[in-house]
Structure 1
């Protein structure tokens, strides 16, 4: 009898799947429950009847959304798994597969992450147990692919979507063309391609999705219960492609197929969702055409769908949220108070219905906050602004949700506070939250345009509140993210190891893992990308543990060099300030610079850039930079008398002197490190001054300047001071000129040969290799063997992926990422005698994505770079004088060593020598100013 009852129940289930009659599934569950009860009395196969009962509960849940059904499904299917013996034919495989499918269903409803993890685990175990010729293997593969797809939507980890496509393609390949499951296989694979398109934006993905979904639609009879759902998904893919490719035919087709789906599903449980998606398509077309009828139709069909949905419908919160979106559109079109009131009302309902732990709740809270902010502009409700801030705060600090979405709303939260109530306690919290999210998102292989300017804006706010401690903390936390992370991961642990060997080993291990994860993500190792967040949290926990140990309270915190202050120039749209860090002071000194502004900085940067381009001293793109011949670019420079007068370059340098450098020096009066932000990152603070005339005065009259991308970069050099192995103390020189004219000895070659001759006379360890004689691998090997390197070649910066910035050798490219992985323990000095090695990227002024900063991160304690193109003659004059100064100050004896301790002084000396031979014309100034020093 249990088998008879179960067979009848399964037949009713098949009827329900085909016709969609709810009475069939209700009757099927009742019959299967009787079969289970009879099996408990010792008759029949209890595990099989339990897992089939779970399938029926799950099927009813899919159509009604009643959460108790899927809970019951998991409960009985878990019992089936527990009761199944491994030697019981294929039953363990069936029970595991069904349980995994039910976990997947519940995850789709609740968003509880453990459910999707359990689903994937169960489904993988079931597939491992299945023979390759098992008839149900394709369906199980399809379910596993869907589970990977769902997890990808929540986490965004690329390996999940790749695995989803792989197993679903395998499922489709194993399924005969005329099989009843083929349309479902096609649909699921199409949906997965559509999901990947959302992540990558690659049009071929959404085009493949449409192709697969159209095939699925064509295979189903016109009266099939699943046809409306397939048409609905096809419509979604059309409007996704419309948003990407802007083809009117796509949105027209989307509305057409979704209207057909709605007509066919008049009594179907999926009708509310179909109507909601039809409304989204109308909204999409409204965005394109601005036709009021489209947004009115969108509201109409969405309201109809919500009216048909039960209070427990799985998609009801999303549907309410989408309806609010359409009302907000119409409000922005007509300005009717009733529309924005309705938008707030339905979006509040959406938030209230969405479970607190669900990842989709955070964007809904953000949307609700936006509605309050829109209404606050009308001034009809005093509480709207406070409601906006409350919702933005809740979303930004939520433990779930997309970090990028939370970063965006945290910035909005902070911006409103600055405008409305800058002294609110939440102002500090909002920036703390935003910059904390930047640290979570950023990886070592990328920079974040969405965080550009955030740290500077935060620091300006802190300065206005007289919180210089916070200003410094935020500038360090939110700028130069790539290099800052690398500096954190490379730290000496000897003192800690003596105190706690196990803790020091843990820090070293996590640091190495973080560095490896960041460096390899450029090769799309998605499994490593998934672990980055966990490793970052582990790193923070280890730092807290270490700093709790007496004597290690400042572990990995700044320890300022004693030879001079570090000055950060913070330039924001609202104010400009200098923060001076002096050894022995608890807080930075705040020096207000009221006469300088962001607009002035941008104008100076633009004016100087225009002058450089006019003289062919700055290329327009990295590709031009990579292929430019330094000697050719240098021929445009006049090394002699030129027109005098207050030209553009003179005006820029004078402005920097009067508004920034002189006020700072008046407050300090020391040799110092400059740490500029914003447009100032592209301006020569070290050369600021008044040139010519009766009262010339410049920064060079008072200070020897060096630059640092961050405070951490310079303090880590000081903290990590180490003795260089005498065996590698020496100088390696290499030149790679443009080989187009072999009959002329290039300037780079003359430069290197002159330095080599002088170094050889001094008796230090020195090696010179030119052009084709040096391979990339050999260059790396020589960098291990010599503490100092002089690279006379071309370079190319990659702002999007800084670790792919590279030096161009005749036999290949030497990437920064490769240098970083070489772990140069004895690196001391790098002289980058190439064009624009410290130029940076205009769109990312606070990231220092240039080769000079990269070489600091690679372990070199001091780096000489150039802000724009240099001539061969100037490069030779400066570099020869530079090394003469250093060589004269090396330790003698039987085994003379070579180090760059006096590097900043040497560059000052060399550029001053060149300057003394020239006049103060603009062409002459542009000859020696580009040479800059980074590091200690």
Structure 2
């Protein structure tokens, strides 16, 4: 290309870029994109205009993202700016510009995806830019915003105090007539508003309002910055109404939000619409205005349909749904619940790391059961099952997506199936690099869209319809006990449909209180054997029978014990929601002979298993491949105390337990005992042993369930290690360490525990424990399962019944053991 051609391309690019900057029209920015790309293609970095080309293209791409949410455009901008910061020397003015623009682009991506690494990089970029100019008011103002965002992620008040400090310095250093002074005032006002929310100091709130009013004063209503400040001011008015109860403040908030949301379409964000809906619903509660309530619902629905951040769209849909349910419109809320549940894959997007996805899913706690309750109220029980399947165990569902059977796709489109399989393997083993993780997730989403465009694959990996979910009941009914704030029911899933069994005596509040009391009693009983704790557990078992299990079994016709104690028993699968996930439904009933309630117990009428969701059970029902030699049992025993797990003690019986199991298992056995039982050796051995037994300690942090682990000799085998595995054949895992089937307190419906992990990675059956277990009885259960590994459910059932009869006054001797899977 000649120098003249290059100059013409650069001139055209400059003309279109300057026009876009002057008009601010999103269309002009879009039109500048192609000329800038053409100029960049012929302009290397070392050219006098090389840096300008890259900075300008990155700016255009960032603006395009902010107006269209085109994530690919923003990713390109971040890549361009990152390369510039690496290529340009420290002290270069253009490098400072690149750092500032990079921070802006990273902050925008953080706002969209909530990826913490983006926020940390943005803060570092601005701080680096400030090194050379520590009194730059504009950069200090930007730092205030980023630190404020980091506080909202970390909840660390130090970040917020640092944000306020940076904001105050920005206001101090900004000249009175500086065009960016309003931004400094607004950012400081936002930080002071957040500080009010954690300390409750009304002075912070009043100062925040004064700062925001100063910030908005010089701005004309048609300016984008005016809209942003007005939006924040509306939040502050809303907070002052909550603090002082002056209706005028709430009216001011509503009027401000109306001005924001009635502006140009580009300014109608899901955030502002959601805020307006919250204020309208608050006024409706205060005044009883049906008009305000209806407008709030309509506003939230608009917000949920507005392109933008998934978190706010989800919140809007959830607010529309739950507010209607709270006002007795449970059936009318169905479509809003469906919208919210449908947004969960975007909320907990695969490109985010697991802790971030878990944090985001906390916003959806209880939503799946509420959606199911709405569908039941509307007379659509099958849809209730579908929504519940979508709205819980979201993380396990994502893992099951990568384990889907690709046979049909491979027969029709082998190349695409191969690509999808490779991406699935990469998703199962996520990179620590967030950029790589996002790229893989983007490729996965794009390839799924391509597959769904192929003939015969329109519904590939879309939410599973009931006709397929009902396959989970092929061997017996699955009883989903749906516990919501608005109603409680048992949904009995059969191959031909759903039977709804209302549970009017069961309430969410009672279930939560009983679970708390029962777990506290278990904790006391584990440490001091207190008699009152035993009675509290038995009282909980009896309560579960009266309000739930007895009603279900009577409705299903299981009204008495089978005639043959050791023969064929009717079997059901339990799948609880909410607080009931912490309680042993399989043990519900009356177990004291003095109660004169013979047969009024689940153990005496049916054989029980559990499943975290229907898809997991269907996955476990897949054909068992005929693998030569795949009959072995892997026994892992760790009898010694472990320096890295100070809270654990030695398990001197573990080695003896391993010897005992070898004598009772009919096939070949491999033992890893003591120093042989390392994390790497166990992971290597698992794929070639369809049966596995652990005789070791386990750990479960109810506040961080993904950190749960089995304690091996050199290191813990964590739940996050397990989910990278995809095992076949895998028939039975026996996990008799403590609490291997107890999920976290924050996300009960996600079933984040070791038992579910082993089940989803391939084991068709898992024997696990809900609570702490007794050293006296755990080996008894282990041996019975070892003797009949293909019917572990029966082994657990009959053994726990015998243990109950032998230890009638000790629920810890038999209650904790349960069976998951087929």
1:150-197 Cα distance to aligned partner (Å, 9 max, x none): 543543445545665677777788xxx6xxxx468x767766765553
Match of 1:915 in 2: 804
Match of 2:548 in 1: 660
Greater mean deviation of Cα atoms: 800-809 or 390-399:
800-809
Match of 1:842 in 2: 745
2:625 is equivalent to residue 723 of structure 1: yes
Say if 1:139 and 1:683 are closer, same or farther in 2 by CA, change over 3 A. closer
Match of 1:935 in 2: 821
Is the CA contact 1:161–1:192 (under 8 Å) kept in the aligned structure 2?
Answer: no
Say if 1:273 and 1:459 are closer, same or farther in 2 by CA, change over 3 A. same
Is the CA contact 1:149–1:192 (under 8 Å) kept in the aligned structure 2?
Answer: no
Is the CA contact 2:631–2:690 (under 8 Å) kept in the aligned structure 1?
Answer: yes
Is the CA contact 1:731–1:765 (under 8 Å) kept in the aligned structure 2?
Answer: yes
CA distance in 2, matches of 1:832, 1:473: 30
2:383 is equivalent to residue 454 of structure 1: no
Match of 2:316 in 1: 409
Say if 1:770 and 1:313 are closer, same or farther in 2 by CA, change over 3 A. same
Question: Paired residue for 1:735, among 637, 642, 646?
Answer: 637
Match of 1:597 in 2: 507
Question: Paired residue for 1:575, among 481, 484, 487?
Answer: 487
Question: Paired residue for 2:176, among 257, 260, 265?
Answer: 265
Matches within 5 A, 1:504-543: 504-505=417-418, 507-517=420-430, 520=431, 523=432, 525-529=434-438, 531-532=440-441, 535-536=444-445, 538-539=447-448, 542=451
Q: CA deviation at 1:598?
A: 2.3
Q: CA deviation at 1:920?
A: 2.4
Is the CA contact 2:451–2:457 (under 8 Å) kept in the aligned structure 1?
Answer: no
CA distance in 2, matches of 1:306, 1:740: 61
Is the CA contact 1:736–1:748 (under 8 Å) kept in the aligned structure 2?
Answer: yes
Matches within 5 A, 1:331-410: 331-333=241-243, 335-356=245-266, 361-379=269-287, 382-400=290-308, 402-410=309-317
User: TM-score scaled by structure 1?
Assistant: 0.74
Instruction: State the SS of the aligned residue for 2:302.
Output: helix
Q: CA deviation at 1:440?
A: 2.1
Match of 2:338 in 1: 432
1:283-304 Cα distance to aligned partner (Å, 9 max, x none): 5676688787876665556445
Q: CA deviation at 1:857?
A: 1.4
Match of 2:57 in 1: 100
Q: CA deviation at 1:566?
A: 0.9
Say if 1:863 and 1:319 are closer, same or farther in 2 by CA, change over 3 A. same
1:84-114 Cα distance to aligned partner (Å, 9 max, x none): 9659983441551463375278569857647
Is the CA contact 2:452–2:460 (under 8 Å) kept in the aligned structure 1?
Answer: no
Say if 1:796 and 1:70 are closer, same or farther in 2 by CA, change over 3 A. same
Q: CA deviation at 1:910?
A: 2.3
Is the CA contact 1:799–1:849 (under 8 Å) kept in the aligned structure 2?
Answer: no
CA distance in 2, matches of 1:405, 1:650: 44
Match of 1:711 in 2: 614
CA distance in 1, matches of 2:473, 2:391: 22
Instruction: State the SS of the aligned residue for 2:506.
Output: coil
Say if 1:558 and 1:717 are closer, same or farther in 2 by CA, change over 3 A. farther
1:483-516 Cα distance to aligned partner (Å, 9 max, x none): 2222232133334433553554455344334333
Greater mean deviation of Cα atoms: 644-653 or 868-877:
644-653
Match of 1:145 in 2: 102
Say if 1:537 and 1:364 are closer, same or farther in 2 by CA, change over 3 A. farther
Match of 2:147 in 1: 197
Q: CA deviation at 1:76?
A: 12
In structure 2, list runs of 5 or more residues that go unmatched: 559-569, 644-648
Match of 1:855 in 2: 758
CA distance in 1, matches of 2:25, 2:47: 29
Instruction: State the SS of the aligned residue for 1:384.
Output: helix
2:313 is equivalent to residue 313 of structure 1: no
Say if 1:303 and 1:483 are closer, same or farther in 2 by CA, change over 3 A. closer
Instruction: State the SS of the aligned residue for 1:142.
Output: helix
Q: CA deviation at 1:75?
A: 5.3
Say if 1:909 and 1:637 are closer, same or farther in 2 by CA, change over 3 A. farther
Instruction: State the SS of the aligned residue for 1:932.
Output: strand
Say if 1:191 and 1:160 are closer, same or farther in 2 by CA, change over 3 A. farther
Say if 1:565 and 1:308 are closer, same or farther in 2 by CA, change over 3 A. same
Is the CA contact 1:84–1:92 (under 8 Å) kept in the aligned structure 2?
Answer: no
Q: CA deviation at 1:455?
A: 0.9
Say if 1:656 and 1:329 are closer, same or farther in 2 by CA, change over 3 A. closer
Instruction: State the SS of the aligned residue for 1:564.
Output: coil
Say if 1:545 and 1:468 are closer, same or farther in 2 by CA, change over 3 A. farther
CA RMSD of aligned residues (A): 4.4
Greater mean deviation of Cα atoms: 464-473 or 802-811:
802-811
Equivalent pairs, count: 786
Matches within 5 A, 1:610-759: 610-616=520-526, 647-668=535-556, 669=558, 670-691=570-591, 692-693=593-594, 694-697=596-599, 698-718=601-621, 720-739=622-641, 746-759=652-665
1:308-350 Cα distance to aligned partner (Å, 9 max, x none): 2234434111122233234334444555544433332222222
CA distance in 2, matches of 1:752, 1:80: 67
Say if 1:453 and 1:546 are closer, same or farther in 2 by CA, change over 3 A. farther
Q: CA deviation at 1:676?
A: 1.2
Is the CA contact 1:96–1:126 (under 8 Å) kept in the aligned structure 2?
Answer: no
Is the CA contact 1:734–1:792 (under 8 Å) kept in the aligned structure 2?
Answer: yes
Match of 1:867 in 2: 770
CA distance in 1, matches of 2:204, 2:250: 18
Q: CA deviation at 1:391?
A: 1.2
Matches within 5 A, 1:754-769: 754-759=660-665, 762=666, 764-769=667-672
Is the CA contact 1:750–1:876 (under 8 Å) kept in the aligned structure 2?
Answer: no
CA distance in 1, matches of 2:700, 2:690: 24
Q: CA deviation at 1:688?
A: 1.9
Higher Rg: 1
Instruction: State the SS of the aligned residue for 1:843.
Output: coil
Greater mean deviation of Cα atoms: 444-453 or 562-571:
444-453
Q: CA deviation at 1:695?
A: 3.8
Is the CA contact 1:47–1:80 (under 8 Å) kept in the aligned structure 2?
Answer: no
Match of 1:12 in 2: none
CA distance in 2, matches of 1:505, 1:364: 44
Is the CA contact 1:788–1:830 (under 8 Å) kept in the aligned structure 2?
Answer: yes
Say if 1:315 and 1:115 are closer, same or farther in 2 by CA, change over 3 A. farther
Match of 1:815 in 2: 718
Is the CA contact 1:566–1:674 (under 8 Å) kept in the aligned structure 2?
Answer: yes
CA distance in 2, matches of 1:411, 1:851: 30
In structure 1, list runs of 5 or more residues that go unmatched: 1-41, 206-239, 618-635, 887-899
Greater mean deviation of Cα atoms: 539-548 or 379-388:
539-548
CA distance in 1, matches of 2:493, 2:500: 9
1:794-853 Cα distance to aligned partner (Å, 9 max, x none): 112355665543211123222233333343211111111222211222333222221111
Is the CA contact 2:33–2:57 (under 8 Å) kept in the aligned structure 1?
Answer: no
CA distance in 2, matches of 1:436, 1:121: 31
